[in-house]
Amino acid sequence: MDFAQVLDKCGNYGRFQVVILLLYGYTNILGSLHYFSQTLITFTPEHWCYHVDLEGLSVKEQRSIYSNVSAPSCTPLLGVVDGMGVVAEGRKCRDWIFQRESGYESITTELKWVCDQSHHPAVGQSFFFVGSVLGTITFGYLSDQIGRLPSLLMATLCGATGDFMTSFVHTLPWFAFSRFVSGLSTDTMYYLMYILVFEYLSPKSRTFGLNIILAVFYCFGLMTSPWIAMWIGNWRRYLWLASLPALGVLIYPLLICESAQWLLTKKKYDEAVACLKRVAKFNGRQVEESVFDEFIKHYRERAQQKPNNQGDTFLAMFTTPRLRRFTLTLLLKSVIITLSCDVINRNMEGLGTSPFKLFSLTSIAYFPAGVAILLLQNRIGRKGMACTALFVGGFITTTTGFLIANLDPSENALILAIMVGLGRFGATVSYDAEIQYAAEIIPTSVRGQAVSNIHVVGLASSSLAFYVIYLAQYYKPLPSIFISCLMFFGAGLCLTLPETLNKKLPETLADGEKFALDESYLYFPCFHKKEEKNNAESV
First-to-last C-alpha distance (Å) of the chain: 36
pLDDT band at 82 (very low <50, low <70, confident <90, very high): low
Percent of the chain topping pLDDT 70? 92
Q: Give the whole-angstrom CA distance, residue 461 versus residue 458.
A: 5
Q: How many helices (H) and strands (E) does the chain have?
A: 24, 4
For residue 247, pLDDT over 60 is answered with yes
At 376 the pLDDT is 82
pLDDT band at 537 (very low <50, low <70, confident <90, very high): very low
Q: Give the whole-angstrom CA distance, residue 537 versus residue 539.
A: 6
Q: Give the whole-angstrom CA distance, residue 140 versus residue 192.
A: 8
| Interval 6-31: pLDDT, tens | 888 888 788 898 899 999 999 988 88
| Interval 470-496: pLDDT, tens | 677 677 778 888 888 999 999 898 888
Q: What is the mean pLDDT of residues 141-154?
A: 86
**Burial grade of 503 (CB within 10 A; 0-12, 13-18, 19 or more):** middle
pLDDT band at 536 (very low <50, low <70, confident <90, very high): very low
pLDDT band at 528 (very low <50, low <70, confident <90, very high): low
| Interval 373-423: pLDDT, tens | 878 877 888 888 888 888 888 888 888 878 877 777 667 778 878 888 888
| Interval 210-223: pLDDT, tens | 778 877 888 888 88
At 166 the pLDDT is 93
Q: What mean pLDDT value characterizes the chain?
A: 81
Q: Which residues contact 523 (CB under 8 A, 6 or more apart)?
A: 383, 499
Largest CA-CA distance found in the chain, in angstroms, rounded: 93
More confident residue, 207 or 310: 207
At 539 the pLDDT is 34
**Domains of the chain: residue spans and CATH:** 1-45+100-311 (1.20.1250.20), 59-97 (no CATH), 313-539 (1.20.1250.20)
Rg (CA), the chain: 26
47 beta partners: 98
Q: Which among 424, 456, 422 has a CA at the least distance from the CA of 438? A: 456
Most confident of 140-144, 173-177, 505-509: 173-177
Stretch among 227-231, 236-240, 346-350 having the lowest mean pLDDT? 346-350
